[in-house]
Amino acid sequence: MVDVTAKAATSRTALAHAFIRMQRATLASIRNLKSPKGNPLEIARIAGISATKRTAELIPLCHPLALTHVDVRAKLCQNGIEITSEATATGPTGVEMEALVGASVAALTIYDMCKALERGMEITELYVLKKSGGRSGTYLRTAKRAKP
């Protein structure tokens, strides 16, 4: 692990994004709450929050952080579900990994809950939208990158 002993404890926030692409019929089932396992958006929210709190257990060299706020949101879109995950803590290191873990586990949960409806769902666009606090200050993603 990186030694953060000498770093000042500051308020740090990160916002991450993920997208799960799916067919319109799958979206319609989710919208009508006809997923075989229940409401995937609400379960994904809880799963994302729980995973965020366990990031240091999942990512080997991640510092364990005392999170002060976590929120995971899922929004139905025309061709899938957009997920955002926000994590906040006061400490010597950032919370980007926590936000990314929350978004990715929420997307994986939606896949798991809806795979009986569609196996071809695709999890894409996992990235940090914004981070603030710490020595490097604020980062704001300004534009989408071109696909390779």
Active-site residue set? 112
Q: How far apart are CA 98 and CA 35, in angstroms?
A: 28
Q: How far apart are CA 128 and CA 18, in angstroms?
A: 9
Sign of CA dihedral 22, 70, 61, 93: positive
